[in-house]
């Protein structure tokens, strides 16, 4: 081992290991080295962090607050040192200590405080906010277990707690001094002057836990502030001493249940009340913190909209609208109408879904019992809203019922999307098509009333994590071809297109892709004992398992392909590897069955010698950010095949294209804009459009006839339905297949033939490797616009007024 003290950084890491981790170099295990490295890097980040806060304060700058129930941040070490530009230095320092940086990066827990795209968007946005040097805070919940860890047992999903905090979390700072009282239930009383006083029946303390977020080139460090819950009386000593040991701790257990797990957003099961409690808990703590900071720095609460822009990431924090109103009216004694103007000027709201079952609404009795004062405020806002609406010509009873914050059809419910819409000055969708559909569907009546509120901000991804860090080989190739401008401005990637036809560049591109595939193959051999051929076409669908995302369409096409290869072995088949990964919400029966089907098909296909090496299928367990970082750089084909009109944007689609995979996809979400940017000749589009889907659903769609008319599809559906892939339980997929015959809401049958034909076009293209590589390079060059820096710049200029 070289002398570590010759390297000042190595000396510091060693010192940290001894004095803060409490181990010497001989006894240190990889986790100890990881902690020592993080703590050392963190020390350097803290200086930048404090300077960032001081600068924003001195400038009296307006701050951006991003409220999100999910932050899918993944691992942080590689990101932090890469953004600080210190990867070579840290690698060398650790090497001098006999430690491999890549190895300890790999054992850092993946912070899975989110479900999927919405949570990952929040994480990319935090990084871009720091990169653009905008003072910003992310606010969310510090889940002790977060999203579940997925294991696959005999093909079935098994959900286990994610213990990401088991070794502590060296990134975070607990701020006991930043703690707020959050109440639930109880009574509301008004005095003669009309001042309202809410006396909650119970309360917890929200305590801030801060994580630094480093922007590109370390220019700015922002704060991700996640709330944890503490009971006011963590232990009732009287009860404890009287012998009731468990009862004495009940308060803390109840408080902790607020921050225990993340409920998958589209789960429809129980836990409803706890979920509303979680939403209010973090919204209230965040709004109290924002108001406290504003008053401390600027004195007058009336100037809040000049100094604070609060963005609601979907409706999960929508109760924040009522919470700010409560603080303004009850605590700061501002008149209701004036408070309403302040509130609207402060909030922006991002909508993420048009699926009716995912639009949050709360049973009115539950909302009123838990948040009695907020219920009054919601009624008062609603009265104002409906009075205004009545004055507008053409607003009839039907429109009033649609606009109202209370859904009066059936069981009365509070509509959080309507509350967010009226409480915000800006309401944005996340891709052009989605924004148009918002205007036509969920918010049609509100849009007629407030025609300037809805705007579009197409999602983006950070190129730091999703290109520079996960694909250093491709990054180096691009630098050699076009220089370094794209490192700071992703739109400069467009120059890479000039090299698309260059045989030498193509060869290097192919070598990079192959190396990434070999690395993935090695990884999968380790985790699942699977042998894959890196020269096959890697065809990848990784995302939450949901019927609208149509993993089933892909699986049925796989079954059809399997049939075809066996029936026509003489044809020129291109070897393919079909990779799937994703979690199903724990209460989502069909999604879990689709996971089982993918595994059943994989087992059958992979063990059939008659397909030779031509087709392999794998379902990779526990999809998360770290797994995505390994799979995406190794992908050749990106499956983005949702039922048109149902995927708000997608961001997986952007990551794949940026890493040189071709997309096979429908005209849905951001796929449409991706096609525009990479060129229609460099993407494989198939299937119904959103308008066609709507028309078919309107009537006249007979899936049974469609299935019977397609030989390939009928054979595949019959094989699955009759138990060919589930001989141990032949009826396992009967209901799932009957669903296709009976209603096929997601248009799997309607799109099948077009999809299968598109896959054969892919085969033909892959057979012409120079053409394929040129198209892949054009994809990389074309998607710079989908950088989250561009997205954040648009929010900053057009919604927040901070640029
Ligand atoms: C990007 C990402 C997503 C979103 O993927 P979509 O294909 O857009 O649904 C979900 N999960 C993880 C871990 C991601 O990195």
For the Cβ of 628 lying below 6 angstroms from any atom of ligand 1, the answer is yes
pLDDT band at 269 (very low <50, low <70, confident <90, very high): very low
The pLDDT value recorded for residue 444 is 96
Distance from the alpha carbon of residue 264 to the mean position of ligand 1, in angstroms: 14
Q: Could you report the per-residue pLDDT of 707-757, keeping only the tens digit for each?
A: 999 999 999 999 999 999 999 999 999 999 999 999 999 999 999 999 999
CA quadruple 335, 336, 337, 338: dihedral sign: positive
The pLDDT value recorded for residue 241 is 83
Distance from the alpha carbon of residue 116 to the mean position of ligand 1, in angstroms: 5
> Whats the size of the chain, residue-wise?
803
Q: Could you report the per-residue pLDDT of 745-762, keeping only the tens digit for each?
A: 999 999 999 999 999 999
| Closest residue CA from atom 6 of ligand 1 | 652
Local structure of 118: helix, strand or coil: helix
Average of per-residue pLDDT across 104-116: 95
DSSP 261: B
Q: Among 4-18, 79-93, 500-514, 663-677, which is the least confidently predicted range?
A: 4-18
Residue 742 to residue 717: CA distance in whole angstroms: 13
**How many other C-beta atoms are found inside a 10 Å radius of the C-beta of residue 253?**
11
For the Cβ of 565 lying below 6 angstroms from any atom of ligand 1, the answer is no
The pLDDT value recorded for residue 265 is 52
| Closest residue CA from atom 9 of ligand 1 | 543
The two beta strands, 202-214 and 173-184, are antiparallel
Long-range contacts, stretch 4-9, CB < 8 angstroms, 24+ apart? 4/96, 4/97, 6/96, 7/92, 7/93, 7/96, 9/40, 9/89, 9/90, 9/92, 9/93
Looking at the chain, the whole-number percentage of residues with pLDDT higher than 90 is: 92
DSSP 302: G
Average of per-residue pLDDT across 292-319: 97
Q: Which one has a higher pLDDT value, 216 or 255?
A: 216
| Closest residue CA from atom 7 of ligand 1 | 652
The pLDDT value recorded for residue 194 is 86
pLDDT above 80 for 264 = no
The pLDDT value recorded for residue 246 is 83
Distance from the alpha carbon of residue 414 to the mean position of ligand 1, in angstroms: 30
| Closest residue CA from atom 3 of ligand 1 | 117
DSSP 270: S
The pLDDT value recorded for residue 478 is 98
In the block, residue with structure tokens 């096609």: 675
Local structure of 290: helix, strand or coil: helix
For the Cβ of 249 lying below 6 angstroms from any atom of ligand 1, the answer is no
pTM summary value? 0.97
Local structure of 750: helix, strand or coil: helix
For the Cβ of 625 lying below 6 angstroms from any atom of ligand 1, the answer is yes
For the Cβ of 545 lying below 6 angstroms from any atom of ligand 1, the answer is no
Domains, the chain, ordered by start: 1-59+91-109 (no CATH), 60-75+110-458+793-800 (3.40.50.2000), 465-689+761-786 (3.40.50.2000)
Residues classed as catalytic? 352, 543-544, 549, 651, 655
Distance from the alpha carbon of residue 627 to the mean position of ligand 1, in angstroms: 11
**Tokens at 38, concatenated:** 């993080």
Residue 232 to residue 206: CA distance in whole angstroms: 10
The number of the ligand 1 atom at minimal distance from the alpha carbon of 74 is 13
- Residue among 70, 71, 72, 629 whose CB has most ligand 1 atoms within 8 A, to mutate: 72
Average of per-residue pLDDT across 601-616: 94
pLDDT above 90 for 263 = no
pLDDT band at 50 (very low <50, low <70, confident <90, very high): very high
pLDDT above 70 for 558 = yes
188 and 130 in contact (C-beta within 8 Å)?
no
For the Cβ of 583 lying below 6 angstroms from any atom of ligand 1, the answer is no
Residue 655 to residue 641: CA distance in whole angstroms: 15
Average of per-residue pLDDT across 275-300: 97
β-bridge mates for residue 205, sequence order: 181, 230
pLDDT above 90 for 272 = no
Residue 678 to residue 247: CA distance in whole angstroms: 62
Distance from the alpha carbon of residue 111 to the mean position of ligand 1, in angstroms: 14
Distance from the alpha carbon of residue 623 to the mean position of ligand 1, in angstroms: 9
List the one residue out of 742, 750, 638 whose CA is nearest residue 683.
638
Residue 538 to residue 564: CA distance in whole angstroms: 19
For the Cβ of 706 lying below 6 angstroms from any atom of ligand 1, the answer is no
DSSP 469: I
- The beta-strand segments (E) located in 508-665 are 537-542, 576-581, 615-619, 637-640, 662-665
Side-chain-side CA neighbours of 424 within 13 Å: the count stands at 33
pLDDT above 60 for 4 = no
pLDDT above 60 for 567 = yes
DSSP 712: H
The pLDDT value recorded for residue 6 is 83
| Closest residue CA from atom 5 of ligand 1 | 652
The number of the ligand 1 atom at minimal distance from the alpha carbon of 651 is 8
Average of per-residue pLDDT across 204-218: 97
**How many other C-beta atoms are found inside a 10 Å radius of the C-beta of residue 449?**
17
For the Cβ of 109 lying below 6 angstroms from any atom of ligand 1, the answer is no
In the block, residue with structure tokens 């001894």: 18
Q: Could you report the per-residue pLDDT of 619-652, keeping only the tens digit for each?
A: 999 999 999 999 999 999 999 999 999 999 999 9
| Closest residue CA from atom 11 of ligand 1 | 116
Distance from the alpha carbon of residue 121 to the mean position of ligand 1, in angstroms: 9
CA quadruple 239, 242, 247, 248: dihedral sign: positive
Local structure of 517: helix, strand or coil: helix
pLDDT above 90 for 92 = yes
Q: Which one has a higher pLDDT value, 178 or 614?
A: 614
Average of per-residue pLDDT across 370-375: 98
Q: What angle do CA 514, 519, 522 make, to 5 degrees?
A: 125
The pLDDT value recorded for residue 5 is 63
The number of the ligand 1 atom at minimal distance from the alpha carbon of 542 is 7
Average of per-residue pLDDT across 136-160: 97
pLDDT band at 310 (very low <50, low <70, confident <90, very high): very high
For the Cβ of 111 lying below 6 angstroms from any atom of ligand 1, the answer is no
Distance from the alpha carbon of residue 189 to the mean position of ligand 1, in angstroms: 47
**Tokens at 748, concatenated:** 């799997």
Local structure of 63: helix, strand or coil: strand
pLDDT above 80 for 270 = no
For the Cβ of 460 lying below 6 angstroms from any atom of ligand 1, the answer is no
The number of the ligand 1 atom at minimal distance from the alpha carbon of 624 is 13
Distance from the alpha carbon of residue 426 to the mean position of ligand 1, in angstroms: 25
Q: What is the mean pLDDT of the chain?
A: 96
The number of the ligand 1 atom at minimal distance from the alpha carbon of 655 is 1
The number of the ligand 1 atom at minimal distance from the alpha carbon of 650 is 8
665 phi/psi in degrees, rounded to 5:
-160, 170
For the Cβ of 348 lying below 6 angstroms from any atom of ligand 1, the answer is no
């Amino acid at each position: 081992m070289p002398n570590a003290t010759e390297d000042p950084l190595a000396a510091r890491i060693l010192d940290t290991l001894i004095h803060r981790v409490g181990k010497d170099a001989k006894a240190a295990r990889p986790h100890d080295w990881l902690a020592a490295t993080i703590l050392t890097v963190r020390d350097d980040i803290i200086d930048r962090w404090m300077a960032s806060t001081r600068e924003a304060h001195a400038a009296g700058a307006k701050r951006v607050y991003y409220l999100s129930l999910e932050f899918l941040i993944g691992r942080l070490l590689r990101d932090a040192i890469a953004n600080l530009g210190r990867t070579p230095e840290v690698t060398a320092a650790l090497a001098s200590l006999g430690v491999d940086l890549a190895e300890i990066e790999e054992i850092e827990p993946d912070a899975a405080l989110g479900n999927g795209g919405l949570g990952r968007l929040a994480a990319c946005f935090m990084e871009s906010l720091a990169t653009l040097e905008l003072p910003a805070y992310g606010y969310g919940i510090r889940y002790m277990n977060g999203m579940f860890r997925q294991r696959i047992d005999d093909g079935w999903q098994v959900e286990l707690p994610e213990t990401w905090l088991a070794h502590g979390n060296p990134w975070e700072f607990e701020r006991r001094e930043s703690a707020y009282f959050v109440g639930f239930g109880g009574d509301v009383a008004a005095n003669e002057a009309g001042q309202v006083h809410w006396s909650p029946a119970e309360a917890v303390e929200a305590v801030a836990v801060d994580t630094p977020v480093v922007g590109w080139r370390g220019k700015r460090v922002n704060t991700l502030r996640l709330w944890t819950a503490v009971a006011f009386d963590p232990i009732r000593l009287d009860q404890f001493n009287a012998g009731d040991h468990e009862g004495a701790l009940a308060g803390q257990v109840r408080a902790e249940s607020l921050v225990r797990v993340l409920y998958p957003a589209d789960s429809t099961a129980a836990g409803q009340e706890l979920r509303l409690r979680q939403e209010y808990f973090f919204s209230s703590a965040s709004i109290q913190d924002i108001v406290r900071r504003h008053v401390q720095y600027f004195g007058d609460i009336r100037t809040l909209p000049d100094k604070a822009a609060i963005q609601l990431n979907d409706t999960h924090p929508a109760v924040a609208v009522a919470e700010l109103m409560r603080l303004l009216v009850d605590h700061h004694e501002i008149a209701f109408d004036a408070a309403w103007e302040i509130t609207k000027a402060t909030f922006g709201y991002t909508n993420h879904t048009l699926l009716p079952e995912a639009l949050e609404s709360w049973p009115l009795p539950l909302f009123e019992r838990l948040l009695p004062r907020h219920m009054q405020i919601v009624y008062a806002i609603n009265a104002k809203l409906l009075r205004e609406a009545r004055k507008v010509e053409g607003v009839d009873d039907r429109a009033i019922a649609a606009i109202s914050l209370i859904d009066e059809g059936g069981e009365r419910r509070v509509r959080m999307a309507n509350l967010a819409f009226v409480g915000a000055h800006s309401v944005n969708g996340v891709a052009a098509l989605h924004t148009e559909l918002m205007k036509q569907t969920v918010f049609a009546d509100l849009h007629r009333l407030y025609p300037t509120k809805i705007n579009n901000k197409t999602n983006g991804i950070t190129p730091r994590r999703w290109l520079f860090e996960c694909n250093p080989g491709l990054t180096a190739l691009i630098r050699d071809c076009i220089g370094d401008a794209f490192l700071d401005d992703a739109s400069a990637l467009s120059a890479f297109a000039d090299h698309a036809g260059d045989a030498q560049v193509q060869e290097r591109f192919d070598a990079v892709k192959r190396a990434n595939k070999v690395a993935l193959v090695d990884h999968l051999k380790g985790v699942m004992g699977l042998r894959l051929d890196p020269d096959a076409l890697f065809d990848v669908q990784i995302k939450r398992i949901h019927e609208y995302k149509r993993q089933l369409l892909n699986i049925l096409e796989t079954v059809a392909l399997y049939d075809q290869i066996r029936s026509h072995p003489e044809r020129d088949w291109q070897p393919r590897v079909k990779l799937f990964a994703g979690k199903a919400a724990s209460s989502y029966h069909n999604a879990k069955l689709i996971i089982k089907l993918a595994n059943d098909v994989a087992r059958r296909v992979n063990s059939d010698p008659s397909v030779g090496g031509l087709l392999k299928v794998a379902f990779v367990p526990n999809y998360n950010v770290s797994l995505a970082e390994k799979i995406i750089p190794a992908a050749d084909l990106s499956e983005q095949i949702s039922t048109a009109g149902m995927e708000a944007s997608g961001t997986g689609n952007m990551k794949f294209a940026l890493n040189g995979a071709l997309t096979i996809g429908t005209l849905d979400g951001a796929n449409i804009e991706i096609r525009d940017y990479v060129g229609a000749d460099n993407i494989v589009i198939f299937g119904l459009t959103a308008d066609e889907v709507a028309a078919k659903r309107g009537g006249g769609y007979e899936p049974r006839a469609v299935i019977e008319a397609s030989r390939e599809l009928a054979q595949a559906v019959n094989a699955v339905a009759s138990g060919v892939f589930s001989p141990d339980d032949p009826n396992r997929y009967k209901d799932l297949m009957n669903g296709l015959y009976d209603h096929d809401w997601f248009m799997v049958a309607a799109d099948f033939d077009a999809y299968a034909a598109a896959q054969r076009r892919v085969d033909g293209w892959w057979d012409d490797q120079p053409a394929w590589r040129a198209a892949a390079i054009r994809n990389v060059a074309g998607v710079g616009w989908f950088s989250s820096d561009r997205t954040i710049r648009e929010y900053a200029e057009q919604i927040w007024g901070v640029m």
